[in-house]
Amino acid sequence: MTDTSVEESQSNAAARRAKGEFVRGVSGFRAAIGSAEFPAEPGRYHLFVALNCPWCHRVTLARSVLGLHASISMDVVFPSRTDQDDPAGPNLWQFAPTRRATLTGAALPECTLETATGKGHRLIKEIYAAEGADEGSVPVLYDKKAGRIVNNESAEILRMLGQNAAALGGAAEVDLYPDDATLRAEIDALNAEIYTDINNGAYKAGFSSDQSVYAAAFQAYFDRLAQLEARLAADNRPFLCGDHFTEADLRLFPTLYRHDPVYYLRMKLNGARILDYPYLWRWLCRVYALPGVRAASAMNHCRQGYFGRSWNNVIPLGPFVPMAYPEAYEHPELAG
Ligand SMILES: N[C@@H](CCC(=O)N[C@@H](CS)C(=O)NCC(=O)O)C(=O)O
């Protein structure tokens, strides 16, 4: 059975796609750090990410809040994919640290070359091709010692970084998935709802070409936001499961961080802003203020990456009322 906190059901996927529904595919590499094949060792593992990609944002957040900066290296692709005239074809993630971003007119300082395989690949696709795989998605967790991909499913990467944080050389006192059966069941249930209606739901709203699929995703997204707002409001709890930041908070954050400045417009999620939900807004600011979160979040990459050819590569600049983003996230008092 599909774990709906990790990936969506693929039943009738071809027919659903033909009808205009965006159906996310299944990731092919599913091994785990901590196994005999991939032991947990500091300095051995590497991440390939796009900072605009919300699935990558999960793993950059985990790396950062768990204090794994020094022990897990990372390369960052350019947020816009290859153009139509690229010799390898369009829509591919590429390492291009000198490419100019249309948003700023300059290179993006976070972008890197590929430094982990020893081959200096230009494209993510080439890293997969070296293992005979025809995939091209990010994030990718890579074993530098074995020269192999470990896993390319963000939900699993996030979980294994948390579970192996100490052995990997993590420095922080953060436990994203504490060893308590009741709490784990609560986190798992939230993860599934948040994945289906919010994280992946945003893509269903923005990338499906069928009005009724869009309308259902729009409704489910805002219903879930209202439910999460009520959950936080009920006892004024700081985080989704109470007093402590957990995996459920971490997985909600990338979507809400993008909502007002990007998704409201790009994903046609213009029902309301997060700023219109006082408890969710204050939660967003609270998470943003946690050590490591701001450093793992890159608003310029998010803006640059979502407005490609069909938006003329021109990036909307707002909102600036009541304040520009992401600076607004330093102001919990902005919401009612
Ligand atoms: N299940 C994957 C999905 C990742 C995913 O969809 N990544 C997108 C970027 S936001 C991607 O790389 N798509 C390009 C492709 O699949 O070729 C995960 O969560 O890790």
| Displacement of CA 74 from its chain's centroid (Å) | 15
Active-site position among 203, 277, 325, 329: 203
User: Could you tell me where in the chain the CATH 3.40.30.10 domains are found?
Assistant: 13-168
Query: Where exactly does CATH 1.20.1050.10 map onto the chain?
Result: 181-334
The answer, yes or no, to whether residue 313 has pLDDT greater than 90, is no
User: Poorest-confidence range of 25-34, 96-105, 133-142?
Assistant: 25-34
Identify whether 221 is a catalytic site residue. no
Does the CB atom of residue 229 touch ligand 1 within 6 A? no
pLDDT at 24 over 90: no
CATH superfamily of 13-168: Glutaredoxin (3.40.30.10)
- Tell me, yes or no, if 285 is annotated catalytic: no
Which of the pair, 145 or 4, is modelled with greater confidence?
A: 145
Task: Return the CATH number of the domain spanning residue range 181-334.
Answer: 1.20.1050.10
- Sequence-separated (6 or more) residues with CB below 8 Å from residue 138: 48, 49, 50, 53, 55, 56, 77, 93, 124, 152
Nearest Cα residue to atom 1 of ligand 1: 153
Distance CA 131, CA 23 (A): 25
pLDDT band at 1 (very low <50, low <70, confident <90, very high): low
**Rounded mean pLDDT of the chain?**
95
From the candidates 53, 56, 111, 302, give the one annotated as an active-site residue: 53
Report whether the peptide linkage leading into residue 178 is cis, meaning its omega lies within 30 degrees of zero.
no
Hey, which of 138, 160, 191, 263 would you mutate to test ligand 1's pocket, going by the most ligand atoms within 8 Å of its Cβ? 138
**Average pLDDT of 117-143?**
97
> What pLDDT is recorded for position 71?
96
**Ligand 1: centre distance to CA 181 (Å):** 30
Using pLDDT thresholds of 50, 70 and 90, give the confidence band for residue 9.
Answer: confident
If one residue of 55, 204, 247 were mutated to test the ligand 1 pocket, choosing by the most ligand atoms within 8 A of its CB, it would be: 55
Distance CA 206, CA 75 (A): 28
CB of 136 sitting under 6 A from ligand 1: yes
Q: What is the pLDDT of residues 189-238, one digit of tens each?
A: 999 999 999 999 999 999 999 999 999 999 999 999 999 999 999 999 99
* pLDDT for the residue 150: 98
- pLDDT tens profile 249-308: 999 999 999 999 999 999 999 999 999 999 999 999 999 999 999 999 999 999 999 998
